């Protein structure tokens, strides 16, 4: 297995940083070079300081070092998520056993991420339970948002966000007030380079935009949704991001739906679907076709989360 030093070197280069940007009075370029090339070990305290300068959480480092998208915690979480595609209250009750299994794993293998995820699971479970009993999704989300108070407090108390915090933000976004969502998404946009330079997270800001936009739509927050779409579109133009440019008409169609302009909404959504099919992106086209059916028939009852732990298009 490769050394920690080699992984540090890969992260540093991916972020476009020079060795001199990481050294200080206690760590010379020579010592850092030896560590990166596997010829020198480093104290735990010094190593965590190095991660701090790289703006990478230890949990993120371990995943990058293992060269696997899933840590053992992620495997446990994913096992639970595969059982969550339920469509009735009866099916939902069967998840309790899966939850107890994950809770037992948590007691033996504590991690901050699993702690937060258990909060999300309980929120998701209670929200769906209320929804299946006839409570509108928006109201159900607000009713049970207190179950995520600890995770929300964690984000509020963390002054420097890394990739983990941005992912957590998306995962619990439906429980946050619209003004807080807007504050955080602007902060994420301003600090985007910090997230995008961590290997494997090039499009994480756009994934966040999609989630927060869908939350604004769920809450009927037309003004916030419009402001976010404008920010999103400007970013796409600046980055010349082709895939996002293809998807933008679909979400512009969501804005039209919010404004009760259904005919225009369908035209805009179909523009994205046609382009995806023309490009041969049939799986993505299928996902967005299914989403269009939900939106045009049921309205905004979903939150879109693009996250490996939640599959590609998971809805609360």
pLDDT (mean) for 33-49: 86
End-to-end CA distance of the chain: 39
Confidence of residue 211 (pLDDT cuts 50, 70, 90): very high
Q: How deeply is 54 buried, as exposed, middle or buried, from its count of CB atoms within 10 A (0-12, 13-18, 19+)?
A: buried
The pLDDT score that the predictor gives to residue 157 is 86
Q: pLDDT at residue 220 above 90?
A: yes
Both structure tokens of 203: 């499009």
Confidence of residue 70 (pLDDT cuts 50, 70, 90): low
The most confident of 93-102, 151-160, 276-285, 302-311, by mean pLDDT: 276-285
The pLDDT score that the predictor gives to residue 68 is 56
C-alpha neighbours within 13 Å on the C-beta side of residue 87: 0
Burial 145-174, CB ≥16 within 10 A → b, else e: bebbeebbebbeeeeebbbbbbbbbbbbbb
Q: pLDDT at residue 75 above 80?
A: no
Q: What is the pLDDT of residues 153-190, one digit of tens each?
A: 988 887 777 778 888 899 899 889 999 999 999 988 88
Q: Which residue has the higher pLDDT, 79 or 137?
A: 137
Q: What is the pLDDT of residues 183-209, one digit of tens each?
A: 999 988 887 776 666 666 678 899 999
Confidence of residue 310 (pLDDT cuts 50, 70, 90): low
The pLDDT score that the predictor gives to residue 95 is 72
The pLDDT score that the predictor gives to residue 313 is 38
Q: pLDDT at residue 304 above 90?
A: no
Q: What is the pLDDT of residues 228-237, one digit of tens each?
A: 999 999 999 9
The pLDDT score that the predictor gives to residue 73 is 62
Q: What is the pLDDT of residues 78-110, one digit of tens each?
A: 666 665 666 667 777 777 777 777 788 777 777
Confidence of residue 226 (pLDDT cuts 50, 70, 90): very high
**Residue spans per domain, the chain:** 4-54
Q: pLDDT at residue 315 above 50?
A: no
The pLDDT score that the predictor gives to residue 227 is 97
Least confident of 45-49, 140-144, 265-269, 270-274: 45-49
Query: Are 69 and 30 a contacting pair, CB within 8 Å?
Result: no
pLDDT (mean) for 124-133: 87
Taking the C-alpha atoms of residue 111 and residue 175, their distance in angstroms, rounded to an integer, is 22
Strands in the chain per DSSP E: none
pLDDT (mean) for 111-118: 82
Q: Which residue has the higher pLDDT, 54 or 311?
A: 54
Tell me the pLDDT of the chain averaged across its residues.
84
Q: What is the pLDDT of residues 15-27, one digit of tens each?
A: 778 888 888 888 8
Both structure tokens of 23: 């050294």
């Amino acid at each position: 297995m490769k050394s920690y030093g080699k992984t540090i070197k890969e992260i540093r280069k991916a972020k476009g940083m020079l060795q001199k940007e990481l050294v200080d009075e206690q760590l010379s370029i020579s010592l850092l070079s030896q560590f990166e090339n596997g010829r020198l070990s480093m104290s735990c305290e010094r190593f965590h300081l190095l991660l701090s300068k790289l703006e990478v959480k230890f949990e993120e480092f371990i995943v990058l070092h293992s060269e696997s998208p899933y840590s053992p915690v992620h495997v446990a979480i994913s096992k639970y998520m595969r059982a969550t595609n339920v469509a009735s209250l009866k099916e939902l009750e069967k998840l309790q056993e899966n939850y107890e299994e994950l809770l037992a794993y948590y007691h033996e293998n504590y991690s901050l991420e699993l702690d937060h995820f258990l909060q999300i699971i309980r929120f998701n479970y209670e929200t769906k339970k209320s929804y299946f009993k006839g409570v509108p999704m928006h109201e159900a989300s607000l009713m049970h948002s207190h179950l995520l108070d600890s995770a929300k407090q964690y984000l509020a108390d963390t002054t420097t966000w890394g990739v983990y915090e941005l992912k957590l933000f998306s995962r619990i976004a439906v429980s946050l007030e619209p003004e807080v969502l807007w504050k955080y998404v602007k902060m994420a946009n301003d600090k985007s380079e910090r997230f995008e330079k961590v290997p494997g997270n090039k499009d994480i800001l756009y994934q966040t935009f999609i989630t927060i936009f869908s939350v604004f739509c769920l809450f009927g927050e037309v003004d916030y949704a419009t402001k976010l779409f404008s920010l999103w579109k400007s970013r796409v133009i600046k980055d010349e991001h082709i895939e996002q440019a293809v998807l933008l008409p679909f979400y512009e169609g969501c804005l039209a739906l919010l404004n009760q302009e259904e005919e225009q909404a369908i035209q805009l959504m179909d523009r994205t679907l046609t382009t995806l099919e023309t490009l041969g992106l049939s799986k993505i086209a299928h996902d967005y076709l299914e989403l269009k059916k939900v939106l045009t028939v049921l309205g905004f009852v979903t939150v879109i989360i693009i996250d490996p732990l939640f599959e590609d298009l998971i809805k609360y």
